[in-house]
Amino acid sequence: MRGFIEAYGDSRFVAAWEQDPDRVVNRAGFRKQAAGGWEYYVLPEQWRAELARGFDASALAFAMIERGLMTGEVGKSSARVKVRGQQMRVYHVLSRILG
């Protein structure tokens, strides 16, 4: 997980809450500047196909939530966020993943 974000944090995640975000090719999700650094919002298909490849995607997400590396809604491993006026489900990875 950390390796994917280290390698692709700037190039595959759109800074969607910034003014005039850069265009991203092969998007994995979105990123948002927070007090501790960038937080990442991974799209569900990218979570399963790339970030959690080789693992049980749901079990991995719950394990990361338990370790304080992600947040999710009660009983779910994903969270709902509004991105540019559109409500969507994402996996919310906190900036401490890089710490």
Neighbours of 47 (CB within 10 A): 24
Q: Distance between CA 98 and CA 34 in Å, rounded?
A: 13
Domain boundaries, the chain: 2-98
Q: What is the pLDDT of residues 59-97, one digit of tens each?
A: 999 999 999 999 998 899 999 999 988 999 999 999 999
How far, in Å, CA of 49 to CA of 85, rounded?
Answer: 26
Measured distance CA(74)–CA(4) in Å, rounded: 26
pLDDT of residue 20: 80
- Whether 99 has a pLDDT exceeding 90, the answer reads no
CA distance readout (Å), 33 to 30, 37, 39, 55, 76: 10, 6, 6, 28, 24
pLDDT number for residue 21: 78
